[in-house]
Structure 1
Amino acid sequence: MRILVCAAYLPFPPKGGGRADIWRRIEGFVELGHSVMLLHQYDPNGSLAPREGDFAAMDQVLTARFSYPIERSARRTIRQLVGQFHTPWHAAKALPDTHVAEDLRRQVRDFAPDVIWLDGPWLGEVARGIRHERPVPLLYRSHNIEHLYLRRQARASPRWRNKVAWHVITLGLRRYELGLMRESTRVLDISLDDLAFWSARGVSSIEWLPPLPELALTGDPITPIPSDVLFVGGLRLPNNVAGVHWLVDDVWPRVRARLPDATVTVVGSGPDRELRTHLESMDGVRTAFDVPTIPPYLFGARVLVNPVHTGSGVQLKMLDMLMTRAPIVTRSQGVRGLPSDVVAQCEVHDSAEAFADAVVQRLSEPRVDLDSREAVRRHFTLASLEGALRGIDTNLEDGGDRV
């Protein structure tokens, strides 16, 4: 099968939950024998700009690729604001200029996809245009209830400017998400809780598709990096930053009062100067920022923690934790949207006192039922990805409107 994956940002290197989810699934498609064309937007500036060799590395996996930069101008900004209720901010931002769109259509025609896989709503208008020309099945990957997720990020942000910006980009988004789902042949949701949310609003052709942990595609790391307690997460996102502050400011002093030599390691990408300085000044807190790969840290930890309190969808860090043999302590948000047998693998506590007690207990008695841990991993294999495509290739011209 020829699969056109539409993503709103560069998914490589696969760091952070969203990028990792997209790229690991592409690798899974290829491992299952499918051909993949990636159509994506990227920011040519800033910390997420492509590095030398990123495109070449992706091309080792992809059959074809169309990459186009985010365009910024006063005229585009005004147009995005004026049309916001019809086309939400990020979806309008992803529309390519005319000359880019012509090249895009030509290259997509050459690839001749059997299926369009739309990762999130932001390239919705691009996918609609392609599908108008080539009416093939549209599979929509829902990463979050985006309009709720962005509002929660706004609440979690400490800066008023960011709060306003996060809120502005949600205008018209709920209606837009629902419209894309109604046009899709199949909706594949990352979260069981989110699936129930959309089902209650009339979306019927919807299934659960969990992310693929990195270890579903690779082996255990050869050389683990040891630590007592470990948190892993992108440190650009307000909810992760708030969770880290709660961990080191509220939980960790309680742990150190009982285990003075214990250390917690924070592994993450893109911390701002304020957070970096705060973490590096604290006793018993170690940091590792922008590391090339995460599994050595995960497999070297005695206890894994997730202190994040707000969010949506499924947190990919939780699934990566399940691939290890270490105890897992999390707040309730960390297990949101996961099956009950997966939740049972974690100790769930929302108060700082209870969270600290669990960490101390697990450092002293690191017991894990490895047989049950192994059993729950069946949810997160290539078989789940294969199931998401089942039946699609036998009905290529039946292009959607199933909801």
Structure 2
Amino acid sequence: MKILILTSKLPYPATGADEQDRFEGLRLLKELGHELRVIAKVAAYQKEEDVETLSRAITSKVETLPYRGSGFSMRRLFDIGFWDGAAYEYADPGTVRALTRAIGEFKPDCVWLDGSFMWPLISVAHSAGLPVVVRSLQIESTHIIADEGASPINLLRAYVKGVGEARMARTADVVIAINRNEAVRYEEMGAKHLETVPLRQLPSLLEKGGIEYRDARPLHVLFTASTFSVTHNRIGAENVIRKIAPELDARAPGEFMIHITGAKLPDKIRSDMPANVTYEGYVPDFDAFMRSIDIAITQSLGNAGMHGKLFAPVAAGIPTVPQSHALAGFSFAEGEGMVFGESPESVVAHLLSLREKGAREKIGKAGLKQAEHLFSRTALKMAITRALDAL
């Protein structure tokens, strides 16, 4: 099948979780034997050699477009869906012309949109007689409230995002949700055909195998986030530094070292760090770093999207202590890679119970088995194939 893909910021270098997901998505489609052409927006810092490297990696033509910015128009004023700047970017005439030109040149069998906010382009593809697959990276209307709270401005932003997401769900031929809970939400919005494809970088993690379970001290505990400018990540870090770490040190001195990774941890929070916490900042080779970890913990995660900070450690065989609502509909029972810590106090209790190597190994390997069932390359390829076969 010939697939014309529109993705947001050029997913190379694949440094962040979002870029990794979209880059691995392109690779999966190539592995399935499809012929691709890619149109991507490009940020000012990205270089022409990044475009060329991506093109070689997926043996496909990659065209880039600049970000145009939101701007103002009467159309935007009177259509609340276009109050969302991310969506309005894809109503830009230059983007529409690029899609129309690529359809004429490439003659694809379908158009694939990597993001629900690209809904303005669905009608462009349909007018050319082409079906559309939309891969939703997250339900952003839910994410805004989960990440930033229910202030009046955030409620308005969430409502505007929701208008666009509902339009996308009703008009796309196939919607691919990132988790099972969001698939249910899109069905309620009127989606015609749904599939669930989780984070597309998880198969690569699984294929590296599980970690080596150590019997040394201190045990290394991971708490990670992309950036602590996000409210729930910052609250989680505060819980770790001010509640979990001091209690661990009081009850098991010298037995645990907590490593916090991620950008922009505020100085005020860092100044409170006890001796059993290290702030690593941004870690370039996160996969390698993660494999030096014995246990992972998560705190203050919402139930929107799919949290790599939870599922990546499980896919590496690392026993993980999350809150149960963060599973996003994926079926992991207690003891399958996870033990659920609903409060800082229960997180401490679970960490103390995981001091024994045998306990960590049993839980970690059970999680690997379930992750292989849910997130393997074969499982994801089957879901993608079902989505394309439904067109």
Q: TM-score range by the shorter chain?
A: 0.7 to 0.9
Where is the helix percentage greater, Structure 1 or Structure 2?
2
Alignment match of 1:249 (pick from 242, 250, 253): 242
Alignment match of 1:102 (pick from 82, 97, 121): 97
Q: Is the 8 A contact 2:195 2:386 kept in 1?
A: no
* Structure 1 equivalent of residue 138 of structure 2: 144
Q: Give 1:3-402 correspondences, 5 Å limit.
A: 3-44=3-44, 49-50=45-46, 53-62=49-58, 63-72=60-69, 76-77=71-72, 82-95=77-90, 97-99=92-94, 101-133=96-128, 135-155=129-149, 166-216=154-204, 220=208, 228-235=220-227, 236-261=229-254, 262-268=256-262, 270-271=263-264, 275=266, 278-279=269-270, 282=273, 283-341=275-333, 344-365=336-357, 366-369=359-362, 372-376=366-370, 377-390=372-385
Amino acid at match of 1:57: T
Amino acid at match of 1:141: R
SS in structure 2 at match of 1:234: strand
Q: How many Å apart are 1:88 and its aligned residue?
A: 4.2
Q: How many Å apart are 1:230 and its aligned residue?
A: 0.7
User: What percentage of aligned pairs have identical amino acids?
Assistant: 18
Runs of at least 4 residues off by over 4 Å: 77-81, 163-168, 221-224, 391-395
* Structure 2 CA distance for aligned equivalents of residues 129 and 200 of structure 1: 25
* Structure 2 CA distance for aligned equivalents of residues 78 and 215 of structure 1: 44
* Structure 2 CA distance for aligned equivalents of residues 221 and 51 of structure 1: 34
Amino acid at match of 2:140: E
Amino acid at match of 1:61: A
SS in structure 2 at match of 1:266: strand
TM-score (norm 2): 0.84
Q: How many Å apart are 1:117 and its aligned residue?
A: 1.9
* Structure 2 CA distance for aligned equivalents of residues 335 and 169 of structure 1: 25
Q: How many Å apart are 1:70 and its aligned residue?
A: 1.8
| Structure 1 residues 41 and 255: CA distance shift in structure 2, 3 A | same
SS in structure 2 at match of 1:300: coil
* Structure 1 CA distance for aligned equivalents of residues 388 and 324 of structure 2: 39
Q: How many Å apart are 1:190 and its aligned residue?
A: 1.5
Q: Is the 8 A contact 1:303 1:326 kept in 2?
A: yes
* Structure 1 CA distance for aligned equivalents of residues 79 and 238 of structure 2: 34
Q: Which runs of 5+ in 1 are unaligned?
A: 157-162, 399-403
Q: Is the 8 A contact 1:230 1:305 kept in 2?
A: yes
| Structure 1 residues 57 and 238: CA distance shift in structure 2, 3 A | farther
| Structure 1 residues 346 and 144: CA distance shift in structure 2, 3 A | same
Q: Is the 8 A contact 2:171 2:191 kept in 1?
A: no
CA-atom RMSD, angstroms? 3.2
Q: How many Å apart are 1:312 and its aligned residue?
A: 0.1
What are the Cα deviations for residues 303-350 of structure 1, in whole angstroms up to 9, with x where unaligned?
111113324022123221122232111122432321245883211111
* Structure 1 CA distance for aligned equivalents of residues 329 and 387 of structure 2: 26
SS in structure 2 at match of 1:95: helix
* Structure 2 CA distance for aligned equivalents of residues 201 and 100 of structure 1: 27
| Structure 1 residues 88 and 38: CA distance shift in structure 2, 3 A | farther
Q: Is the 8 A contact 1:192 1:208 kept in 2?
A: yes
Q: Is the 8 A contact 1:119 1:142 kept in 2?
A: yes
Q: Is the 8 A contact 2:122 2:172 kept in 1?
A: no
What are the Cα deviations for residues 332-380 of structure 1, in whole angstroms up to 9, with x where unaligned?
2432321245883211111111111112221344423355334211211
* Structure 2 equivalent of residue 159 of structure 1: none
What are the Cα deviations for residues 210-265 of structure 1, in whole angstroms up to 9, with x where unaligned?
223445378539999x9710122211433222222222222111112123322211
Q: How many Å apart are 1:165 and its aligned residue?
A: 5.8
Q: How many Å apart are 1:294 and its aligned residue?
A: 1.4
Q: Which runs of 5+ in 2 are unaligned?
A: 213-217
* Structure 2 CA distance for aligned equivalents of residues 215 and 393 of structure 1: 20
* Structure 2 CA distance for aligned equivalents of residues 80 and 349 of structure 1: 48
SS in structure 2 at match of 1:368: helix
